[in-house]
Amino acid sequence: MAADPNRFAGIPGHGLFTDEHRRLREGVREYVERALAPNAEKWEEAGEFPIREVFPEAGAVGLFGAKFEEAYGGSGPDLVADAIVTEELARCGSAGVAASLGAHKDLGSWYLHRFGTEEQRQRWLTPAIAGSAITALAVTEPDAGSDVAGIGTRAERDGDDWLLDGSKSFITNGTVADVLVVAARTRPGDGHEGISLIAVERDTPGFTSSRVETLGWRTSQTGELAFDGARAPAENLLGEEGKGFLHLMEGFAWERLSMALGAVSGAERTLQLGIDYAKERQAFGRPVARFQVWRHRFADLATEIEAARSLTYHALRTVVAGEDAVREASMAKWLATELSWRVADEALQVHGGYGFMMEYPVQRAWRDSRLGPIGGGTTEIMKEIIGRSYGL
């Protein structure tokens, strides 16, 4: 099995983890193993989890505050600490739960912090870090996924308000968020320069949401949003008007890096599921794990996981150094999410017919991992970004 990432903690010259980070990892892992993982199967069967109970608990143990200053209830800013939280959440056994918690801290809250005013941060970010308010980022639309510049949701000024019309799709936390960061076109016809970010609160007149059924992430509240003359105060604008596209491009690097971190950690856990079962399953009088074909396959996957971890940590170092990490984050997201899906497919294969049965958790890992190469920018888009970064 791939080595524990804690092996780097406190090693001089590694430049990433410290003893404090090691202690943080132990604390987050303890919380995940105590409060989340034991309930994963029950929550998956129900298709939801008690989000209004879990979020305040997660906030109380500091899961949402690592990236943010103490002034807002955070414990940072420390991006490495936040990366550790992401890695450990991926081990909770329910990707939907991890996605809901992750989207809250890495999308909605992150944008509120980066582009919000001091008043907006105190109003929305502080309760978000405490877990008493849930956030979401609403960008994707039925006809505008990877093509962010093509979004059609409109926001027009009407006195002291914005009037929003349009729809969003595939929005994590979309049906439960108390505040959503919505990308809307405030200057029709201006392409990407006409997009702005506007905070929309749950009780905004003219705003409705509905949950959609998904193949994986079954506990995640994935929603479709509708804005029918939804009225938001003018002061809910985040960042500069017309600069929303640029703000999103800044935020996407961290979103993709977070997806890569979770994918590597998830792949490691899924590989262990496959190895454990291969040690137990008997064929031709011996455990499947003793057949060379599977020993070598597991060796291949474990090695690739370590390679993906190294690339992902390289991207993390780049971000922490304050350098442009668009290329590195895109590489990591592409490699790690595709690998996580392949690991799940191999782990399901070694289970044989039992891998196709709903009672075995490997089928959930297989379904959950499939979204990785799609969400947050498809693999094809990642390759396009990487290619363009070389002037191609």
**Stretch 233-238: mean pLDDT:** 97
**In this predicted structure, what is the pLDDT of residue 182?**
98
Exposure class string for 351-379: b at 16+ Cβ within 10 A, else e: beeebeeeebbbbbbbbbbbbbbbbbbbb
Task: Look at residue 2 and tell me whether its pLDDT is greater than 50.
Answer: no
**Stretch 293-309: mean pLDDT:** 97
How far apart (Å, rounded) are the C-alpha atoms in residues 187 and 123? 27
**Stretch 2-22: mean pLDDT:** 61
Residue type, 391: G
Known active-site residue 44: no
Q: Which secondary structure element, helix H or strand E, spans residue 224, and what is its range?
A: strand 222-233
- pLDDT tens readout for residues 29-76: 999 999 999 999 999 999 999 999 999 999 999 999 999 999 999 999
pLDDT averaged over the chain?
Answer: 94
With a CB cutoff of 8 Å and minimum separation 6, the contacts of 233 are 160, 161, 162
Beta strand residue intervals within 256-375, DSSP E: 282-283, 286-287
Q: Name the CATH superfamily, with its identifier, for domain 5-133.
A: Acyl-CoA dehydrogenase/oxidase, N-terminal domain (1.10.540.10)
**Stretch 252-278: mean pLDDT:** 97
Is residue 77 reached through a cis peptide bond, with omega within 30 degrees of 0 on the bond before it? yes
Q: Is 4 exposed, middle or buried (0-12, 13-18, 19+ CB in 10 A)?
A: exposed
Q: Which residue has the higher pLDDT, 12 or 231?
A: 231
How far apart (Å, rounded) are the C-alpha atoms in residues 373 and 128? 28
How far apart (Å, rounded) are the C-alpha atoms in residues 128 and 108? 9
Residue whose C-alpha is closest to residue 6's, from 23, 15, 315:
23
With a CB cutoff of 8 Å and minimum separation 6, the contacts of 322 are none
- pLDDT tens readout for residues 83-107: 999 999 999 999 999 999 999 999 9
Token reading at 52:
């209004």
Q: What is the pTM for the complete model shown?
A: 0.93
**In this predicted structure, what is the pLDDT of residue 14?**
54
**In this predicted structure, what is the pLDDT of residue 146?**
77
Per-position DSSP letters for 274-290, written without gaps between them: HHHHHHH-EETTEEGGG
- When pLDDT is cut at 50, 70 and 90, the band that residue 269 belongs to is very high
CATH 3.40.50.10140, applies to 245-389? no
**In this predicted structure, what is the pLDDT of residue 301?**
98
% of the chain surpassing 70 pLDDT:
96
**In this predicted structure, what is the pLDDT of residue 10?**
37
- pLDDT tens readout for residues 311-332: 999 999 999 999 999 999 999 9
Token reading at 371:
């979204």
Q: What ranges do the domains of the chain cover?
A: 5-133, 137-242, 245-389
Per-position DSSP letters for 117-170, written without gaps between them: -HHHIIIIIHHHHHTSS-EEEE--BTTBSS-GGG---EEEEETTEEEEEEEEEE
In order of 108, 114, 183, 375, the CA distances from 117 in angstroms are 15, 9, 17, 29
How far out from the chain centre does Cα 234 lie?
Answer: 29
β 135-138/179-185 pair status: parallel
How far apart (Å, rounded) are the C-alpha atoms in residues 154 and 162? 9
**In this predicted structure, what is the pLDDT of residue 4?**
54
Token reading at 253:
């690097």
**In this predicted structure, what is the pLDDT of residue 8?**
40
The Cβ of residue 337 has, within 10 Å, a number of other Cβ atoms equal to 31
End-to-end Cα separation, the chain, in angstroms:
38
DSSP state of 107: I
- pLDDT tens readout for residues 133-164: 999 999 999 988 778 888 999 999 999 999 99
By three-state DSSP, how is residue 225 classified?
strand
**In this predicted structure, what is the pLDDT of residue 292?**
95
- Catalytic position from the list 255, 268, 328, 346: 255
Looking at the domain that runs over 137-242, which CATH code has it been given?
2.40.110.10
How far apart (Å, rounded) are the C-alpha atoms in residues 130 and 128? 5
